[in-house]
Amino acid sequence: MEDGLPDRAVKSGPATGIVHLGLGAFFRAFGCVYVADAMKESGGDWGIVGVSLRSPNTRDALRPQNWTYTAVTLAEDSAVPRKIDVLNDVLVATEDPKAVLDAMVDPAVKIVSLTVTEKGYCHNPATGMLNPDHPDVQHDLTHDVPVSAIGFLMRALQIRRAAGTAPFTVLSCDNLPENGRVVRGVVLEMARQIDPGLADWIAAEGRFPCTMVDRITPATTQDDISHVAALTGTADAAPVMHEPFSQWAIEDDFVGGERPDFAAAGAELLADVTAHEHMKLRMLNGTHSALAYTGYLAGYETIDQTIADPVFTAYARALWKEIIPAVIPPVGVSLETYAGELLARYANPAIRHSTWQIAMDGSQKLPQRLLGTLRENLADGRASPCLCLAVAAWMRYVSGTDESGELIDVRDPLAMQLRGIATAQKTTADIVSAMLSVREIFDEDLAGKLAAPVTQAADLLWNQGARYASQEVTA
Ligand code: CS2
């Protein structure tokens, strides 16, 4: 290498047992920490090979550090750094996809975990099924070396089967309801199109436990890097900053029962995590998205700034009042207490979680965060003005200009289409109706029922602004 560093740093310590697809800040602040704690308590060869599906940045930053980095727990009045040393290597799929497959087919690898975000599942968010028109899906069905995470899973399982190696457990750590079943469904659908025998083998031998993951981890900024250098006295090009809270509920269903001792690290291993997933997605991620769109439009950069405005504290509380009747709590959990804890977590001023970051990919997030709750409330005759305002605020946001007419940098797989819809329509009612016709997000029945209340919220929002509208729906 030109910089004198070896291509692959060779590490002593635990051998690799996990390949992780989508090595972003969240997994490094969450999954890697649990695996480090599990090995500290109970040992095992659970070193991790991380895979960046696109950008080389994380690999480039971590390689000179021999794959170690600092995770900082940020509370209002403290910042506690910790060195994390569980990564054995980081691969970049776009540069060397064969190396990624080689890592995944190693018989010593028992788990392939994923944080590839909602859009990484190549599915239709409204139905949860594989999107056969997705360009990456079409590519991966016709090429042996894949580009999508789902394609990598399918091809690696195909190679393992041919070699007589047991499948790995696929451990989804994304914010999708029944994430394990979603990933199982899309992998099986893709496999069936290549080789029905492969699909049958994966269905019989493979395991895809569902998980609920929770730790607020904003993207690392240049300020964070300087902060960590001052805190530890050592330069770290890729630290991760996270809140003190952490919760991981995992369905205990692994191939051959092989997994790190997650329980020793504080995770909950359960027979069924559906209740945890629904609670977290609807109560945390649902209000996060609602506050991100309304807060951004009201001119706030971060969630803690948004929630420091009493109008938005009241709006958040009112949202939880609408959401709680549509959530069945996990055994022993009080949803009111949970909501109170969420409010305190959002208010943590040390966590600078940008509204823009959370607003990203709304088309992929809305169904599980807001629309499921709305569907149930509508079916049970419960009015949901605050949730309808959140949907209207998303529409306003993706229309591409903010309340002072400034352009918004909307990041969403459907960004162009949504923007086109907004610019082609004249009235707010027309915009709402055209947005509700996007079938990847809203099914026909729900769209029909949302038309009137969302138009009402949208009128208020477009005419009076997000802050005023949030106050009105709360009153
Ligand atoms: C957030 C989540 O970015 C987002 O959409 O809502 O990343 C959230 O911070 C985590 O799910 C918290 O566990």
What residue type is assigned to position 214 of the chain?
D
Query: What is the position in ligand 1's atom list of the atom closest to the CA of 353?
Result: 9
Query: What is the position in ligand 1's atom list of the atom closest to the CA of 357?
Result: 3
Cα pseudo-dihedral 23, 28, 30, 31, rounded to 10:
60
Residue 92: strand, helix, or coil: strand
**CB of 215 shorter than 6 A to ligand 1:** yes
At a CB cut-off of 8 Å and minimum separation 6, what does 194 contact? 141, 154, 158
Residue 81: strand, helix, or coil: strand
C-alpha count within 13 angstroms, C-beta hemisphere, residue 178? 9
Cα–ligand 1 centroid distance for 9 (angstroms): 32
What residue type is assigned to position 448 of the chain?
G
C-alpha 244/C-alpha 401 separation (Å) is: 35
CB 155 within 8 A of CB 145: yes
C-alpha 362/C-alpha 291 separation (Å) is: 13
Nearest protein Cα to ligand 1, atom 8: 216
**CB of 175 shorter than 6 A to ligand 1:** yes
Q: Which structural domains are found in the chain, ordered by start?
A: 16-270 (3.40.50.720), 274-473 (1.10.1040.10)
CB 303 within 8 A of CB 356: no
Query: What is the position in ligand 1's atom list of the atom closest to the CA of 285?
Result: 6
C-alpha 18/C-alpha 62 separation (Å) is: 18
Q: Given phi > 0 = left and psi -120 to 50 = alpha, else beta, which region is 143?
A: beta
**For 94, which DSSP code?**
T
C-alpha 113/C-alpha 22 separation (Å) is: 9
| Tokens found for residue 360 | 């990203």
- Can you give the pTM of this predicted structure? 0.95
Length of the chain: 475
**CB of 214 shorter than 6 A to ligand 1:** yes
C-alpha 90/C-alpha 8 separation (Å) is: 9
Question: Phi then psi for 459, rounded to 5 degrees?
Answer: -60, -45
Question: Phi then psi for 69, rounded to 5 degrees?
Answer: -160, 170
Question: If residue 89 lies in a helix (H) or strand (E), which one and from where to where?
Answer: strand 87-92
Question: If residue 397 lies in a helix (H) or strand (E), which one and from where to where?
Answer: helix 385-398
Q: Given phi > 0 = left and psi -120 to 50 = alpha, else beta, which region is 44?
A: left
Question: Phi then psi for 357, rounded to 5 degrees?
Answer: -65, -45
**CB of 285 shorter than 6 A to ligand 1:** yes
Place of tokens 């990456």: 136
C-alpha 145/C-alpha 323 separation (Å) is: 43
- pLDDT < 50 stretches in the chain: 1-2, 4, 6
Place of tokens 């000179």: 64
Cα–ligand 1 centroid distance for 44 (angstroms): 30
Query: What is the position in ligand 1's atom list of the atom closest to the CA of 288?
Result: 6
* pLDDT of amino acid 10: 63
